[in-house]
Amino acid sequence: MQVTGMLTGARLLAHVGFPTSEILGPDATEDQIQGLIDRHGLIFIKPLFRGGVGKKGKAGLIGRARDLGTALAEKERLYFAEHRHGNAVAKANGVTFEAGVPAEHEVYFAITDDTRFRAPTMTLTHRGGVDIEELDKSEIASVPFDALTGMKAFVVANALTEIGAPREIISPLTQHLPKLWELMHHYGMTTLELNPIRMMPGRDGRLTPIACDLKCGFDRDDPRVGRLGLPDYLFAADISEFEQEVNQLRTHQGQSDVFVINEKGTILAPTFGGGANSLVTEVLGDVAIISSDFGGNPPYEKMKAVASICYRHFLKQTNVLFIIGGKSNNTDILETFRGMGDALREHFARHGPVPLYVVVGRGGPNLVRGMGNLADTLDSLGVPYRFFGFDSAISEVVNHAKQVDQWMRGGGRAEIARAMNISV
Amino acid sequence: MYRQGVADFPYFLGIDRLDQIATPDDRVCVLNILGGESRTVTPVSHAFSGGNVVFGTSPGRSGQVLKTPTGDIPVFNTVLEGLKAGYRFNTGVVYLPPSGVRDGVAELIRVNPDLRKIVIITEKIAVHDAREIRAMAQTSGIDIVGGNCLGVADSWSRVRIGGALGGDHPEESLIKGSVAVFSNSGGFTTTIAQYMATAGWGTTTLISSGKDVYIQYGARDFAHAFGNDPRSRAAVLYVEPGGYYERGIEWSKPVVACVVGRWKSRLTRAVGHAGAMAGSGDSAEDKERWFMEAFGVSGIFTPATPHVSVKGALVTNIADIPAALTAVMALNGDSPDFSPRGSLKLKPWIANDQGLQLPSEIALPVVTAPSPYDQQIAGLSQQIGAVIARQGMKDKSGASVMDAQTQVTSVHGHTVLDLALQPLEAMFALPLVHEIADANDRALLDVAVAAEVNLVGDPILVATDAARAAGNAPNAIMAVAAGITGPRRLERALACAQALIEPFARSGLRDGRDEGFDLSKIQVDDETRRLFLATADEADDPRPEAMLDAIAARGGRSVFLNFLQGLGARVSRDAILAAITTTIAWGPLVRKRISRLTAETLPWYLRLYGVMVGATIPGQHHQSGSLWGIPRAERFQDWTMADLCCLAMTGKRPAPNEALYIQILIGLLISNGPGAISAQGAKGAVAADGPQTPERVQINKAMMGFLTHSGYSHGGNGFEGMAFLLDQFRDSGLTDPANPNHGLDLRAMARRFAVAYKAEKRHAKELGQEVRALPGVHHPVFKGKPENFDPRERFIARFMEERGEYNVFHDFYRHLVREMFEVGASPYVFCVNVDAIIAALLLSVLWKDYQSGALTSRDLETAAFTVFLFGRMIGAAAEIDDHLNRGRNMDTRTPASACGHVL
């Protein structure tokens, strides 16, 4: 759950009264854009991405304009721009028009929880506007502070003094930056970065920090995010349709985030336990469809609902349904297996059977009762299976599932289809 | 702000040695002790630790207790209330929901000056709260473990605090030894301990650290306490990406680190596990490098590439931990704590290949699980057959489903089209065993049903003749026969089936035809033996011997028959019937395709099949030793069910192609899904008896339910198609409907009718009357295209064409739909529907007898109805058995709110 850019950023900063540049959204009229140019001389046109997309400038995705014609041409160029970073491709849908802010000084500011200090930590430099990684460490202040007292003015003043910041920026930053802690801490953020903050001179020569770009990450486990009233679609780009649907069922009892690893994978692996998830996802590689952690003792209804969603999205392409976890400590195997089995039965009834092989590797309370229940279901559906207890190495069971998948790819799927009387 | 704790850490750390983390002296208070998770975990921890929990809190539940094997734990509203009651503790455990954790920690710290440690089990705590918890604890000098963890345990002092390390049997995994475990994964903390035992390594202290952004007790803190712990010779770390917790630690003793999570860098989003945002210098690869640098190794340890130093080894698969640990310790001159326990090889506990021939590397043989799981699994295998959950089955079926698009119904996964091409015996068995019967089973079925068809001397014959004489349709006549085939008549056969299943269920028999099976394992008491044997009253019944002879003549194999014949006395017909049904059912039963209830009730269905077919044959043809002139031995040894059905309709054995037509007809008519009136009748009858007390459900009455829910409109209308064809062909001089050289101009015949029909239509329209519908032509689903086809008709037609079979009536229908369009009697080329092919096939079988006068048109009508009943009898059996197994008492009724009242 991340937000980048000033269209939403300005709204967020308004909650704590932090100054921002003037901004127009994609629906701005030509008159409004002309007015913006008239007031500020220079405007920037930036593509509008949902979710967290950074380094737009480096990618040549920021336009500049001093007249309406250029502004509209840049709008056309950037409206559906694509941004590629590693594996991730983001597609813009719209542009923003942001007022240029004349300034001598550009400041980089961020707050995040730094695991080196196990405390909220402010990162600050008066040499902002560039990638923070490019600067010498002596020019950057990285200061942990007490979460209970918060990021106070003196923390900012001390840090700026330490790195030799120009005198004229110390006072306005000391006055304004502590507001950002309020925003970060009280609205469920895990990280907040403003870069650049441009120090705009006022009529009396006094500088005012103007936020010109914002990135922030939200904590999905923090209900304080709701205070901001952000629309859901802002985060929709973060996740696939499946992820959106299944993660709605995420509560503190069972099921952490579920990710799609390969939409064309052939092993559907409901995994129990974070460790097991890591191991399984790693060993399965590209054949895995999802990465999941359904541990934490989910109740029957929830397990069934989650399994139904997984089946609806992916069972058709699945060769191996691979239910895998270590020896559970408190997750009730009977409840979870019953949920997944019943969901499978209902899926077959509603959408027709699919050729499938089930591999299970599991341990924990009510293990044999759970296995017995699932076996009954699979028997009634005619689905072949092999269940391993906790005394088989989980990594070996994962390799076994891969082996079954290979066999399925090499004709086994058709063989099972014939045995189950499914036309393929 | 922090209090200075042990050593020179720039933060508070109170735990100096690992043996201080979970000690026998620790006294514990559990917040939200009555919550779902704590309620199951805390009693185990408490008992394992010798009773270390002094009290718990649960607002509003003061005065309650949590029962544990070592005594009740008192519950108070608040911590303060517990302290005021005189209880003292130094360790808090937090099971509160995420939103309450921060306040719970504050409560523990503020009201209890003795507090030293807190273990937070709760997961999904907001980072905001974790930040403040860290600050509170640092200010107050409290050590915290977690959150999102499974707590801590000490194998030496047998103490477990917080979560469920070791699960519900901690003594199985927490084995005393010399290795400390620190793991980001709670589940793997236990798993690693288990794995290490396979190489002979036990544990000292185990810490599940959690993996949130704030790991309150981190790897650096652990390294310090580990270094000071004389019990711990080595440590195992399980580490996931995110955070800098493990960077730059100097380990004073050997360590095996397992870093897992390279895949996470492929996700560009933040991953909730192990905290920090991905891709910021704390990825799995980064962490691997940190450890490799710390250990002075150049690669990852695997059995093939054993990179290892005296300082330690890095693995990326937890299965490699035991070997890596042994290798590292060998370099240090240390050997394992004890002899290896168990192995990590693949050991399937339960498997079912569903009859597939899998390659050997996949079809790993099932092994015996360790105790006590082996006894539990043995208990499961005692329970033979499928276990089916009950639910309301109104308008639902687990047996049949009609595809709304193709209008093709499937029964137990087989479409009626496919079934129509199967031998009739296989169709009769399908609803009951859910699989297509093979040749052996078909032979047994033929004999079983043949033995029931001749009703000579049975009151059924009197009753059915009377019913026939009273002018009843064939369904009512069959219902009379079914009604008399009641529970008492089946009592012994069903008891025999139960008595056979019981001992064989425990014998390991997989295949009912396995004649090499060692029968000496099967023992029955005298009472059971008597159950199987013919009584003195049955001395004159020739059928037992005839059945056994017929089975031998057909080469039928059955373990159960062998067993009965080994009893050394004359076996009853009921016992033979039960042996046949149990043979047929055995494979599906052990494969759990069918329930034990189904297998035990099978004799009833087969007897009903035979009796109902027999009831359609007028009484005078049932003679001692022969049926319609066919001697018993011939019927038993040679005749198939299709032959018997044809005999019932025509009084003679059919020619091979006629038998095929009958088979196809019956197959097509098996089912139209649970919504069909006949199915509803059967299901309603089961629901009314109460399937939840299955022994009280009268299967014969359910069959009557189907029969009373068929009639002249539903079943009897099959004659309409034949009547239409008779009109067209009456004076045509046709002799052999299967001969393509019939000499008739079908096109001209069709055109004549089409022209007349068009005129009739116009006339009816002028009068404002309804136009009569043509049987066998047009379909509400398959319509609207320039040329239309009923896929069911096409399927059968293609099959017939491929076999070189010709049917003049069907050919006429094909001409008819085209000519109707040509002359303008239809707006497009209507389809020839499946009813047409039924009429065409049946009329083809009966044509010669009709022409010769041996059959009247009334006989044709009866035959059409009867063939429907034969087919639907199979579908009804499927619904009855399904409803019996799945349904609830009275579940087919319609609530009053859904009923209407009309005036």
Grouping H, G, I as helix, E, B as strand and the rest as coil, residue A207 is strand
- Give me the CATH topology for the region A22-99: Dna Ligase; domain 1 (3.30.1490)
- Cα–Cα distance between A420 and A383 in angstroms, integer? 8
Q: Which residue of A has its CA nearest to B366?
A: A386
- Give the residue from A125, A145, A133 showing the smallest Cα distance to A197: A125
- In the predicted model, residues of chain B with pLDDT beneath 70 are 1, 266-280
> Cβ contacts (< 8 Å) between B36 and chain A: which residues?
253, 297
CB B103 within 8 A of CB B76: no
A7-11, A128-132, B527-531: which has the minimum mean pLDDT?
A: A128-132
Range A241-419: architecture per CATH: 3-Layer(aba) Sandwich (3.40)
The whole model's pTM is what? 0.66
At position B394, the amino acid (one-letter code) is K
* Residue among A325, A397, A403 whose CB faces B361 most closely: A403
Tokens 């704030």 correspond to B214
CA distances (Å), origin B408, targets B379, B399, B719, B792, B817: 41, 14, 22, 7, 22
Q: Which residue of B has its CA nearest to A386?
A: B351
Instruction: Answer whether residue A53 shows pLDDT above 70.
Output: no
**Domain A22-99 matches domain A241-419 at the CATH topology level:** no
Residue-wise DSSP of A390-422: TTS-HHHHHHHHHHHHHHIIIIIHHHHHHHTT-
How many C-beta atoms surround the C-beta of residue A91 within 10 A?
A: 13
- Give me the CATH topology for the region A105-228: D-amino Acid Aminotransferase; Chain A, domain 1 (3.30.470)
> Cβ contacts (< 8 Å) between B379 and chain A: which residues?
368
**Touching check for A403 and chain B: CB below 8 Å?**
yes
Cross-chain residue pair A385–B352, CB shorter than 8 Å: yes
* Residue among B194, B245, B319 whose CB faces A395 most closely: B319
Share above pLDDT 70 across residues of chain A, in percent, rounded to a whole number: 92
Between positions 414 and 443 of B, the ones with CB within 8 A of A are 414
Give the pair of three-digit tokens for residue B883.
Answer: 């409803």
CATH class of B18-26+90-331: alpha beta
User: In the prediction, which pLDDT does B277 show?
Assistant: 33
Instruction: Measure in Å the smallest separation between the Cα of A329 and chain B Cα atoms.
Output: 4
Cross-chain residue pair B263–A261, CB shorter than 8 Å: yes
* Residue among A364, A407, A420 whose CB faces B167 most closely: A364
Instruction: Measure in Å the smallest separation between the Cα of B379 and chain A Cα atoms.
Output: 10
Instruction: Measure in Å the smallest separation between the Cα of A382 and chain B Cα atoms.
Output: 6
> Cβ contacts (< 8 Å) between A190 and chain B: which residues?
127, 213, 270
**Touching check for B151 and chain A: CB below 8 Å?**
no
- Cα–Cα distance between A383 and A65 in angstroms, integer? 64
- Cα–Cα distance between B814 and B832 in angstroms, integer? 7
Give the pair of three-digit tokens for residue B628.
Answer: 């319609």
Q: End-to-end CA distance of chain A: give it in Å, rounded.
A: 40
> Cβ contacts (< 8 Å) between B263 and chain A: which residues?
261, 278, 281-282, 285, 291
Domain ranges of chain A: 22-99, 105-228, 241-419
- Cα–Cα distance between B820 and B822 in angstroms, integer? 5
> In the structure, what pLDDT confidence band is assigned to residue A349 with cuts at 50, 70 and 90?
confident
* Residue among A119, A223, A328 whose CB faces B134 most closely: A119
Cross-chain residue pair B215–A115, CB shorter than 8 Å: yes
User: In the prediction, which pLDDT does A251 show?
Assistant: 58
CA distances (Å), origin B400, targets B396, B858, B863: 9, 33, 26
Between positions 329 and 388 of A, the ones with CB within 8 A of B are 329-330, 342, 349, 353, 363-365, 367-369, 371-373, 375-376, 378-380, 382-388
- Give the residue from A193, A285, A334, A232 showing the smallest Cα distance to B168: A334
Tokens 């079809």 correspond to B363
Which helix (DSSP H) or strand (DSSP E) does residue B129 occupy? Answer: helix B127-140
Instruction: Write out the residue limits of the CATH 3.40.50.261 domain(s) in chain B.
Output: 18-26+90-331
- Cα–Cα distance between B111 and B113 in angstroms, integer? 6
- Cα–Cα distance between B326 and B236 in angstroms, integer? 12
* Residue among A293, A375, A416 whose CB faces B356 most closely: A416
Q: Which residue of A has its CA nearest to B173?
A: A327
**Touching check for A12 and chain B: CB below 8 Å?**
no
Instruction: Measure in Å the smallest separation between the Cα of B414 and chain A Cα atoms.
Output: 7
User: In the prediction, which pLDDT does A236 show?
Assistant: 63
- Cα–Cα distance between B92 and B161 in angstroms, integer? 9
Instruction: Answer whether residue A424 shows pLDDT above 70.
Output: no
**Touching check for B373 and chain A: CB below 8 Å?**
yes
Instruction: Write out the residue limits of the CATH 1.10.230 domain(s) in chain B.
Output: 738-848
Instruction: Measure in Å the smallest separation between the Cα of B386 and chain A Cα atoms.
Output: 6
* Residue among B126, B168, B593 whose CB faces A219 most closely: B126
Report helix angle B439-453 to B596-615, nearest 10: 50
Instruction: Measure in Å the smallest separation between the Cα of A362 and chain B Cα atoms.
Output: 11
User: In the prediction, which pLDDT does A257 show?
Assistant: 66
CA atoms within 13 A on the CB side of B500: 36
Instruction: Measure in Å the smallest separation between the Cα of A197 and chain B Cα atoms.
Output: 23
CA distances (Å), origin A419, targets A77, A404, B436, B442, B882: 56, 16, 11, 19, 21
CB B14 within 8 A of CB B116: yes
CB B274 within 8 A of CB B261: yes
At position B827, the amino acid (one-letter code) is P
At position A215, the amino acid (one-letter code) is K
Instruction: Tell whether the torsion through CA atoms of A315, A319, A325 and A331 is positive or negative.
Output: positive
User: In the prediction, which pLDDT does B273 show?
Assistant: 30
SS (H, E, C) A296-308: CCCCHHHHHHHHH
Instruction: Tell whether the torsion through CA atoms of A166, A167, A172 and A175 is positive or negative.
Output: positive
User: In the prediction, which pLDDT does A86 show?
Assistant: 62
Instruction: Tell whether the torsion through CA atoms of B780, B781, B782 and B783 is positive or negative.
Output: positive
CATH number corresponding to B738-848: 1.10.230
Between positions 246 and 305 of A, the ones with CB within 8 A of B are 251-253, 256-257, 259, 261, 272-279, 281-283, 285, 291, 293, 295-297
Cross-chain residue pair A118–B134, CB shorter than 8 Å: yes
Strand partners, A83: A90
CB B183 within 8 A of CB B238: yes
**For the segment A241-272, what is each residue's pLDDT rounded down to a tens digit?**
777 777 766 655 555 567 888 889 999 999 98
User: In the prediction, which pLDDT does A52 show?
Assistant: 59
User: In the prediction, which pLDDT does A169 show?
Assistant: 94
Mutate which: B185, B216, B368, vs A, most A CBs within 10 A: B185
Cross-chain residue pair B136–A148, CB shorter than 8 Å: yes
- ipTM over 0.90? The verdict is no
Spell out the residues 6+ positions from residue B869 whose beta carbon is closer than 8 angstroms to its own.
B474, B475, B478, B612, B616, B707, B710, B715
Spell out the residues 6+ positions from residue B293 whose beta carbon is closer than 8 angstroms to its own.
none
Please state the rounded mean pLDDT for residues A390-400.
90
Strand partners, B351: A386
Which helix (DSSP H) or strand (DSSP E) does residue B76 occupy? Answer: strand B73-76
Q: How many CB pairs under 8 A join A and B?
A: 301
Greater confidence (A302 vs A185) lies with A185
Instruction: Measure in Å the smallest separation between the Cα of A168 and chain B Cα atoms.
Output: 31
